[in-house]
Amino acid sequence: MLQKLYDWVDERVDITPLWRDIADHEVPEHVNPAHHFSAFVYCFGGLTFFITVIQVLSGMFLTMYYVPDIENAWKSVKYLQMQVAYGQIVRGMHHWGASLVIVMMFLHTLRVFFQGAYKKPRELNWVVGVLIFFVMLGLGFTGYLLPWDNKAFFATQVGLQIAEQTPLIGTELKTLLAGDPKIIGAQTLTRFFAIHVFFLPAALFGLMGAHFVMIRKQGISGPL
């Protein structure tokens, strides 16, 4: 049945050359754990991508129940945890995954740095990777406020005060994020939700696409 479906699609859009090109791509010997014990350090990038996929899927599920409104935000989170089947598990995956993805990205960045994989011809890929790191930090920061509890409120207040200390554009940056330069309220929650769900994911997908294209062109870097 699946073969017939595949043949039907392949006859119309010719997908075989695409996946064969991906499947036939050779993996360097130094990233094969069967040959080199140290090859595990090359797994951090893949693990980061895997956790990112989990974050996207779990986040899509959470947005089906979340209400970005100061009157209903916490109520919707509580309903998700208490009433929705497997809601507590999915929210837990998203919550802990937000920390784990940063850890994996940090380890991946360390591997790239100490093995000199940021050098020619991979300088641009290093810059893109650093930008991805900052986008991930932004996702963590904006997502922290969304449950709208005391911990999230005061942590965001501290974060906005730090943003306000940015030279030249600090006040404007805080106003852009919070909506109101004086209080954290309904506009802040709405803006954080929009940034977390729309703006930063769009930037993340674009940067990751560029990252993968360059990895494909340049190959996986080798050890020093």
Range in 15-19, 21-25, 31-35, 215-219 with the lowest mean pLDDT: 31-35
Q: 141-175, pLDDT tens digit by residue?
A: 999 999 999 999 999 999 999 999 999 999 999 99
Q: Is the model more confident about 104 or about 11?
A: 104
What pTM did the predictor assign?
Answer: 0.89
208 within domain boundaries? yes
Asked if residue 30 belongs to a domain, the reply is no
Q: Report pLDDT digits (tens) over 209-221.
A: 999 999 888 877 7
Number of domains in the chain: 1
As given in the structure block, the two tokens for residue 143 are 């997502």
- DSSP labels, 55-79: HHHHHHHHHTT---STTTHHHHHHH
In a domain, 69, yes or no: yes
pLDDT at residue 36 in the model: 64
pLDDT band at 185 (very low <50, low <70, confident <90, very high): very high
Distances (CA, A) of 200 to 80, 89, 154, 171, 211: 24, 24, 22, 21, 16
Looking at the domain assignment, is residue 171 inside a domain? yes
The answer to whether residues 65 and 79 touch, using CB atoms and an 8 Å cutoff, is yes
Q: What is the mean pLDDT of the chain?
A: 91
Tell me: pLDDT of 13 over 80.
yes
Q: Taking 90 as the threshold, does the pLDDT of residue 10 lie above it?
A: no
How confident is residue 181, by pLDDT bands cut at 50, 70 and 90?
confident
Q: Binning pLDDT at 50, 70 and 90, where does residue 224 land?
A: low
CA angle 59, 43, 89 (to 5 degrees): 30
Q: Is residue 34 part of a domain?
A: no
Report whether 111 contacts 103 (CB < 8 A): no
pLDDT at 75 over 80: yes
Distance CA 192, CA 190 (A): 6
CATH number of the domain where residue 160 is located? 1.20.810.10
Position 7, amino acid: D
Residue 125 banded pLDDT, cuts 50, 70, 90: very high
Segments forming the whole domain that contains residue 166: 39-114+124-218
Is 24 within the bounds of a domain? no
Dihedrals phi, psi of 221, to nearest 5 degrees? -65, 150
- In this structure, are residues 223 and 32 in contact, taking their beta carbons and an 8 Å threshold? no
